[in-house]
Structure 1
Amino acid sequence: MFESVASLLAEREELQEQLGDPALHADAARAKKVNRRYAELSRIAEAHGAWTGLVDDLEAARELAKDDAAFAEEVPLLEEQLEAAQEKLRRLLIPRDPDDGRDVIMEIKAGEGGAESALFAADLLRMYLHYAESKGWKTELLDSTESDLGGYKDVQVAIKGPAADVIGVWAHLKYEGGVHRVQRVPATESQGRIHTSAAGVLVFPEVDAPEELEINPNDLKIDVFRSSGPGGQSVNTTDSAVRITHVPTGIVVSMQNEKSQLQNREAAMRVLRARLLAAQQEALDAEASAARRSQIRTVDRSERIRTYNYPENRIADHRTGYKAYNLDQVMDGALEPIVRSAIQADEEAQLAAVGTES
């Protein structure tokens, strides 16, 4: 069982040698990738060591149990521990998404529901910022378009975790892409009626370094314009806002959050690289994960992945079946159980697809 581990352990030894070479660290992006892979293989090596140790212990206990009742009592406990260790190793051997260790760029867009949808988009942003804070991640607001009542028509944020994390920001937040539906009494509702609206979330893995993804300057159409605030009124007297169109793919990114045109251009290129990386991964892998394929294109309530029911204080994920009555805590950033349920569901689906190694 687990014959494939031998080649992975050999790869880990090779990476360990590379990490000791000063030349590797001259290339920050390459060093980051090697560190992540080494950390991933180290988790497998540790789990495999624990499993083989328990195999030996159980074999010895069964042999000694023939003559000693005390050892016979240890056998069921060791069998239970071995089963748990085996399951842990099986999960670690599931082929990982190569982007799992990456940081992300998240975009939240108001959809059906007008002003209420924009307010909900702001609530979602706050939820993700608090979740990121609880994980020790750093966040950076890249761009936003505010609504008249203080919500967001559109907001983009970068979320960054520790460089060597194997299970990084993307591994946790990639399942958040989709339409999020809210049921509540809007602040503007005078009759106390419950309204349903929706906001969309897009999540893209971020490129580690600009040189990782080459973009031909001739493929870009760059426009500059004056930034605007709520209602569309101009809030700047200079053409500081930037719109970049990647002509071959039709991807368009606009930035106006900074007062400097250069800063907005850099932020737009950062988002463009992330979107192009996601597009490349989908093109290279026809069997791309359902989570990535389901990223929204239009914010339509029929495509919802999750419902936030305020009157019942209920949160329900329609993909995993997860349901809880602690919506107030979730909106304050207590997302971990929901994230874990999505990760576990994905692992179960992959295990069912590839079968168990034997």
Structure 2
Amino acid sequence: MSEHESGDRLAPLRQEHARLQESMADPALHDDAGRARRVGRRYAELEGILEAADRRDRTAADLATAAELAELGEEDEELAAETAQLRERLEAERAHLEELLAPRDPDDARDVILEIKAGAGGEESALFAAEMLRMYRAFAEAKGWRTEVLTSSPTELGGLKDVTVAIASRGAGAPGDGVYAHLKHEAGVHRVQRVPVTESQGRIHTSAVGVLVLPEADEADESELLSEAMAPANLRIDVFRSSGPGGQSVNTTDSAVRITHVPTGIVVSCQDQKSQLQNREQALRILRTRLLDARRAEQEAVSSAARRSQVRTVDRSERIRTYNFPESRVADHRTGYKASNLPQVLAGDLGDLIDSSRRAEREARLAEAAREAADADTEERP
């Protein structure tokens, strides 16, 4: 992308950035927490784009100066080396800016609610679900994000039948750095091949774990999109005693909470917190996010847009990734990425895997934008 081409696209973004800067200086903005958060997200996104454009422009100017000196016959080995570095830097900065300007998922800047569910494979699947939770928490910690287990169902051997965890960034940032931007491609069925700890014959078993990644609902969503859906008349709230591994009761009080959204039939149960009030708050948090996801699915269906592909049934045949322990290999079946670094991946080193999916998404979005532009150009012709 040339400086002229990107300049045409940057001009309206600079104007929007200036307007948002004025809005953020207005104390009245913060009377509406949801709107303030949306403005902050968009401002951070534009700030990142404009800073990248400024860096590219400075590098382009430095390269032009170096070229002028070379034309005057002042080039030497040091100037030649600096010119080569500037060219390389300019190419990288142009590519980075192009990525920032590419069409993106509007939810990329959001935090997430991530659900891990054991599937085919019984106890072995539950054990791997627990390993996946540790893997995602390690990745989040390396990114400086916060994690909070909202609800879980442990097994007697230390596995997890299912677990729901909130993963949040520690502040506003560019959407490309958002939690959802990184983790949304983890949604689907993950297959594991290894010898289970319960296997006495040394045979390799195949198990499956399902992962669902939802952009978390915030105050703005509740006030603008979910106010009617979350009305008290639409909620049935039941309380019961918490249970531990194997189903045994671990509490003598009714601290666990089950909330049913009557119109949709969505049910959320929470029992991990110590008090009924805390469990109720966690259940409502998950319910809001699931309702938001359902609402957006309906909107996308009406507009004939393709629903984000997230596997909701845990079937070994519908895999997105395989973790092969005997070969220490991990393979992503959507992007073709393969690597023999399984221990590092399970320790949270997911960067290359996630980057391969993000590149594929970016290329698909750019291709779709090009098709839409071509279609629009065709329609405008007489």
Instruction: Provide the TM-score with structure 2 as the length reference.
Output: 0.85
Displacement of 1:260 in angstroms is: 2.2
**Is 1:271 aligned with 2:286?**
yes
Q: Which of these residues, 180, 194, 203, is aligned with residue 213 of structure 2?
A: 203
Does the 8 A contact of 1:282 with 1:288 survive in 2? no
Displacement of 1:306 in angstroms is: 0.8
Where does 1:319-338 land on structure 2 (aligned, <5 Å)? 319-338=334-353
Where does 1:111-150 land on structure 2 (aligned, <5 Å)? 111-150=119-158
Greater CA drift, 7-16 or 203-212: 203-212
Give, as a single letter, the amino acid of the residue that structure 2 aligns with 1:184.
R
Displacement of 1:186 in angstroms is: 0.4
Greater CA drift, 30-39 or 5-14: 30-39
2:380 aligned partner: none
Deviation per residue, 1:150-192 (Å, 9 max, x gap): 1111111111112212222111111111111100110000111
Greater CA drift, 234-243 or 8-17: 234-243
Match of 2:104, SS state, is coil
Deviation per residue, 1:114-157 (Å, 9 max, x gap): 01011111111111111111111111111111112111111111
Rounded Cα–Cα distance in structure 1 between residues aligned with 2:304 and 2:138? 29
Rounded Cα–Cα distance in structure 2 between residues aligned with 1:133 and 1:76? 37
Q: Which of these residues, 335, 339, 343, is aligned with residue 358 of structure 2?
A: 343
Aligned residue pair count: 357
Rounded Cα–Cα distance in structure 1 between residues aligned with 2:182 and 2:106? 13
1:178 aligned partner: 188
Give, as a single letter, the amino acid of the residue that structure 2 aligns with 1:161.
S
Displacement of 1:201 in angstroms is: 0.8
Displacement of 1:69 in angstroms is: 6.7
Give, as a single letter, the amino acid of the residue that structure 1 aligns with 2:244.
G
1:310 aligned partner: 325
Q: Which of these residues, 12, 29, 49, is aligned with residue 17 of structure 2?
A: 12
Give, as a single letter, the amino acid of the residue that structure 2 aligns with 1:341.
S
2:377 aligned partner: none
2:249 aligned partner: 234
Q: Which of these residues, 29, 45, 49, is aligned with residue 50 of structure 2?
A: 45
Deviation per residue, 1:8-67 (Å, 9 max, x gap): 110001111112222223333322222221111011112222334455555666666555
Displacement of 1:79 in angstroms is: 5.0
**Is 1:35 aligned with 2:45?**
no
1:225 aligned partner: 240
Instruction: Provide the TM-score with structure 1 as the length reference.
Output: 0.90
2:378 aligned partner: none
Displacement of 1:86 in angstroms is: 2.5
1:138/1:55 CA distance change after superposition, 3 Å: closer
**Is 1:103 aligned with 2:111?**
yes
Displacement of 1:308 in angstroms is: 0.7
Greater CA drift, 158-167 or 190-199: 158-167
Match of 1:299, SS state, is coil
Give, as a single letter, the amino acid of the residue that structure 1 aligns with 2:166.
A
Match of 2:156, SS state, is coil
Give, as a single letter, the amino acid of the residue that structure 1 aligns with 2:112.
V
Where does 1:54-73 land on structure 2 (aligned, <5 Å)? 54-56=59-61, 67-68=72-73, 70=75
Match of 2:327, SS state, is coil
1:281 aligned partner: 296
Rounded Cα–Cα distance in structure 2 between residues aligned with 1:270 and 1:13? 34
Give, as a single letter, the amino acid of the residue that structure 2 aligns with 1:295.
Q
Give, as a single letter, the amino acid of the residue that structure 1 aligns with 2:243.
S
Does the 8 A contact of 1:104 with 1:206 survive in 2? yes
**Is 1:89 aligned with 2:89?**
no
Match of 1:112, SS state, is coil
1:354/1:331 CA distance change after superposition, 3 Å: same
Greater CA drift, 31-40 or 202-211: 202-211
Displacement of 1:339 in angstroms is: 1.5
Does the 8 A contact of 2:183 with 2:213 survive in 1? yes
Rounded Cα–Cα distance in structure 2 between residues aligned with 1:157 and 1:99? 18
Rounded Cα–Cα distance in structure 1 between residues aligned with 2:364 and 2:103? 12
Displacement of 1:111 in angstroms is: 0.2
Q: Which of these residues, 172, 181, 192, is aligned with residue 164 of structure 1?
A: 172
Structure 1 segments unaligned to the other structure (5+ residues): none
Displacement of 1:75 in angstroms is: 6.9
Rounded Cα–Cα distance in structure 2 between residues aligned with 1:31 and 1:238? 40
Rounded Cα–Cα distance in structure 2 between residues aligned with 1:259 and 1:51? 53
Where does 1:249-264 land on structure 2 (aligned, <5 Å)? 249-264=264-279
Does the 8 A contact of 1:204 with 1:274 survive in 2? yes
Match of 1:70, SS state, is coil
Greater CA drift, 202-211 or 32-41: 202-211
